[in-house]
Amino acid sequence: MSDDDKKDDDRTVFQPPPGNEGGSDPFGLPRDGAGPSAPPPEQAPYSAPANPVPPFPGSVSEGPPAPAGGGFPPVPPAQSPDPFAPITPPPQPAMPSAPAGQIAVGDVLSGIYRITRFIARGGMGEVYEGVNIHSAGERVAIKVILSNLASDELVMAMFAKEAATLTRLHHEAIVPYRLAARDAYGRPFIVTEYVDGPSLEERLGQLRLTDDQFGALTRRLARGLGAAHWLGAIHRDIAPDNILLVDGDPEQPKIIDFGIARDAREQTKTIVGDGFAGKLKYVAPEQLGEYGRNIGPWTDLYSLALTLLAVASGRHTDMGGSIADAVRKRMSVPDLSAIPARYRQAFERALQPDPALRPQTMSDFIALLHEAEGREGTGFLPIEDRPRTQRPTAIPEKQNAARLSPLSRLPGGKWAAIGAIGALVLLLGVVGIVLATSSEEDEPLRRADQSGQDDGASSGSLEPGSQAFAVLAASLAQSPPCSWLTFDGADSTTARFVGGAGNPAAAQSTILDGLAGKGAGNVSLDMADAIGFEPALCGAIDAFREFRAPEDLVSSPQRSYEAEQQAIPLTSGGSLGPGMYAKPLIRVNGLRAGEEVVLLQIMNGKISPLFASRSEGEEIVGLLAGTATADGFEMPFPAEFDGPTRESYGIAVIVGQGPFPPALFGNPNLDEATPIDSSWPDRFRSEARTRGWRTDIFWFSVTDETPG
């Protein structure tokens, strides 16, 4: 086998040890022949590293404790036969040599999964088949990291990140992850569903798909990757051997092996760093060092398009036999004559050499597919489809003080889609915002304000319940710097204000001084529902306020919602969670024909993009079983609760002429925060004036105050 062939076949996380040149099993690791042909020789007990890595977050540590001398105890004997144990499988490759203490057939991990056979060994770990001893017929695949890598903190951190991300991800096109834990000797392992079926690699040249079947396969895989992207995971190794077909059915593809996935939210490195990761035939140009190594959702899209081109043509596309040749072959779009004619334009976009010229999200790509099919639908990527150009969305800011309330005015435009779950899940929450309906009690105020009438103001009638007072209070709500406040009504002695402020106490003083200066100094202020946000956001919030819409663009029936343990079902067939979520009804309205919209989430001192176009918003609304209205959207939005007692969200809408520059707002697909620096407010003002933007913000809180 040539060196170039090895590059194609090896897992790119680590170079596999000699003797692993066999084919690939469903999990991307060498299959048959990867292990020695004879039983492993007796070896000294495995010795723990000097500084063993502690169990990673959320993992289950099992097995006996290490003895005082630092070595691990021998492997416990295999459990007695289980009534649900499967029938003896056909001949399998021999177990690979390893120190005593290696997992063996018959071992039971975490008291749940019995090892039934060894499947393969690769550069990063060993893969076994197992069975759930508590559930008849549930077969699983178990990936165990190699013992010589278990002491590497970077490797362990990446392994833990893979587990943390993927155990939360549920989508019909991604193999389900069941459990992340450690074996009796401290080695981490991940349990996934066992997929009984061939890979696309094994079926190349055999599949005969109609145009409709090809389109359905493409959309399903794109949605699955979009779900992973939304959680911040970029696969980086999409290829025919990493897509399995359940029972050989091309309508049931499952994406596997996120072992070299990159976390797009934190921009952390993969186990192989920022360099090459993936199979040479299917990697994108940026994975070979081109275009500034700009890795993101568009990278997986390029590899997915090449994979589907291989499905359509029945063979691997010639994309180079060496890295230098591969770079040259990627300077132009490959021959797409094998792709069904109606989809060629979408694939041409997906295979552009420059990442910036490709669709930036799987949602964008699916929209192209729908356009090619002559229908309007949406891709409805699981809310998780959020990573974008290169800016992962930040999680909505947590507030410990007052519960959030509707602010009312950040950008709102033609927003046809509700925020995406995000950042994970938080994004989702934001996504829900879509229904900005103003209360009836606010209407008189708006009419007076818009008509320029002062009503009783000029006549001196400034009692808290009067129309004149309402007009004055509404005006003063805009006066405190570093704030987004709304007058929310008054009784005979108290005026209520809701929204957010960098310094709520200072904002309250500014409003009281303004009232006193107009002869209404005997009024108390209720700002219990006004949330404090990080002063670092003052410049951005003040810039938003200058373009605040005269009407509410985003709203919700309540300002506080109770969280509960639940999974959020998606219309795509997947789900978000399980986890602690509230489901506030978010409404966005007032959108005009031809307007575009960007939805932002404010949380933890950061502003993060949830989606940046109407089409993206529509997909999210559909995913969450929301509805579109004549001038906006309405949907239940999954707001994640991360405790301890209150979670505060700010949802900002900007509407007007698009597009909305990623350099200004960040990229929803990468789950990154908006890059706000000292020049940001002026850049925003310039774009807002030029494009006629209107803004609105709504604040709400999520709590966990109900016992149980």
pLDDT digits (tens, 9 = 90+) for 134-162: 887 789 999 888 777 777 777 777 677 66
**Cis peptide, bond prior to residue 578, ω within 30 of zero:** yes
d(CA 340, CA 338): 6
Six token digits for residue 656:
């007007």
d(CA 218, CA 223): 9
Could you give the count of Cα atoms lying within 13 Å of 284 in the half-sphere of its Cβ?
A: 29
Q: Give the number of other Cβ atoms within 10 Å of residue 585's Cβ.
A: 18
Q: Give the number of other Cβ atoms within 10 Å of residue 546's Cβ.
A: 13
Say what the pLDDT of residue 441 is.
32
Whether 598 contacts 654, CB under 8 Å: yes
d(CA 584, CA 42): 61
Q: What count of residues does the chain have?
A: 708
Best CA proximity match to 74, nearest among 85, 63, 83: 63
Say what the pLDDT of residue 547 is.
94
d(CA 489, CA 689): 31
Kind and range of the H or E run holding 652: strand 646-656
Can you say how many angstroms the Cα of residue 323 is from the centroid of all Cα atoms in its chain? Answer: 31
Say what the pLDDT of residue 483 is.
93
Could you give the count of Cα atoms lying within 13 Å of 535 in the half-sphere of its Cβ?
A: 4
Pairing verdict, β 177-182 and 188-193: antiparallel
Q: Which domains does the chain have, with CATH numbers?
A: 16-194 (3.30.200.20), 200-372 (1.10.510.10), 425-438+539-703 (no CATH), 440-534 (no CATH)
**Residue 227 one-letter amino acid:** A
Say what the pLDDT of residue 149 is.
74
For the chain, the 3-state helix, strand and coil shares in percent, each to the nearest 5, are 25, 20, 50
d(CA 676, CA 666): 9
Kind and range of the H or E run holding 329: helix 323-329
Could you give the count of Cα atoms lying within 13 Å of 228 in the half-sphere of its Cβ?
A: 33
CA distances from 361 to 228, 301, 407, 557, 601 (A): 11, 8, 30, 32, 19
For 293, left (φ over 0), alpha (ψ -120 to 50), or beta?
A: left
Q: Give the number of other Cβ atoms within 10 Å of residue 15's Cβ.
A: 13
Strand partners, 600: 609, 652
Q: Which residues have CB under 8 Å from 60's CB, separation 6+?
A: 110, 179, 180, 181, 182
Q: Compute the Cα dihedral for 280, 283, 287, 291 and give only its sign.
A: positive
Whether 420 contacts 385, CB under 8 Å: yes
Residues in the chain, pLDDT under 50: 1-101, 260-277, 376-460
